[in-house]
Amino acid sequence: MSSVKNHTTAWEADAKGSEKNRVMGGTLYLVATPIGNLADLSERAVKVLSEVDFIAAEDTRNTMHLLTYLGIQKPMVSYFEHNKRARGEEILARISSGESCALVTDAGMPAVSDPGADLVALCAERGISVSCVPGACAVVTALALSALPTGRFCFEGFLSTDKTSRKRHLASLAQEQRTMIFYEAPHKLVSTLRDLCEVFGGDRRISLCRELTKLNEEILRMTLAQALDYYAERQPRGEYVLVLAGKDGKTGTEDAFWQQMSVPEHVAYYMEQGMEKKEAIKAAAKDRGVQKNEIYQQVL
């Protein structure tokens, strides 16, 4: 009797699962795509891509390659940073009329360091249903492989190409205790490593994760100084995810970068990174664990 009951429970669970996996009209589906290995695409992702009314893709040419590989023919529209406002309204109008749409990026999870986040926000604002089909994500993959603390982390995305903005961003992270994760392109890697070394010190541990899940996947675990030496003799190739230890992580024997600075020098350092004087005073006070007024009095 118990055996029959258990089977019934399993069938009911399967039926509920089938209902959950049914593609519904009036819904935006966030579908994760492989970051390098096509075998990482889930069965559910294939089902959703096959059954939605249309697909919104970061680059329709790249997505066409994936659909061709899967044997799927489906209408597509482009959705990327420079057309997201107008195209986003078009997509939402179609979904509001009852159509279903799958949003995909060239690789990984839509809406993570991606303009899809704006589309999700609009859906939430207008009461439009959003469903996620999870899968490969470079952030989590790199973190898991980094051998650095994973309990608390922050994702910082791509650093700005503007030098002042980039240095201001990094300066704001100088006291960050969580593991930090960045995306970086090969042609900017060395300059980014120099900036990281300047702010966090050469002894700070970093994992450089290259070409994740691809044939030439490489994970380098070293200090920032060692990473600079390594790439002084090698040409960076492929896309990188940089995983950097937080201040209280296992960061070697480094001292706080400001310990040998006077208070005015400390404030001047932050201002050189692009901060306004008020912001620089606040940052220096936070570093030293004192009130802002104490810093202000010393830089008058």
* φ, ψ (nearest 5 deg) of residue 115: -65, -10
The region, left, alpha or beta by phi > 0 then psi within -120 to 50, assigned to residue 99 is beta
Tens-place pLDDT, residues 256-300: 677 788 888 898 888 887 788 888 888 888 777 788 888 888 887
**Is it true that 22-136 and 139-244 share their CATH fold?**
no
**pLDDT value at residue 1:** 47
CATH 3.40.1010.10 fits 22-136, yes or no: yes
Yes or no: say if 170 and 270 are a contact pair by the CB < 8 Å rule.
Answer: no
Q: Which CATH number is 139-244's, of 2.120.10.30, 3.40.50.720, 3.30.950.10, 3.30.540.10?
A: 3.30.950.10
Tens-place pLDDT, residues 185-196: 999 999 999 999
Yes or no: say if 134 and 128 are a contact pair by the CB < 8 Å rule.
Answer: no
**pLDDT value at residue 186:** 97
Yes or no: say if 198 and 179 are a contact pair by the CB < 8 Å rule.
Answer: no
Rounded CA separation 174/214 (Å): 33
Among residues 60, 45, 64, 34, which one has the least CA distance to residue 102? Answer: 45
**pLDDT value at residue 151:** 94
pLDDT mean values, one per 10 residues, the chain (300 residues): 47 56 95 96 97 97 96 97 95 98 96 94 97 96 96 95 91 93 97 93 94 95 92 94 83 60 88 83 81 85
Query: Strands of 179-184's sheet, edge to edge?
Result: 153-158, 179-184, 240-244, 205-210, 218-223
Rounded CA separation 173/143 (Å): 18
Return the domain boundaries, the chain: 22-136, 139-244, 263-298
Q: What one-letter code names the amino acid at 112?
A: V
Yes or no: say if 115 and 189 are a contact pair by the CB < 8 Å rule.
Answer: no
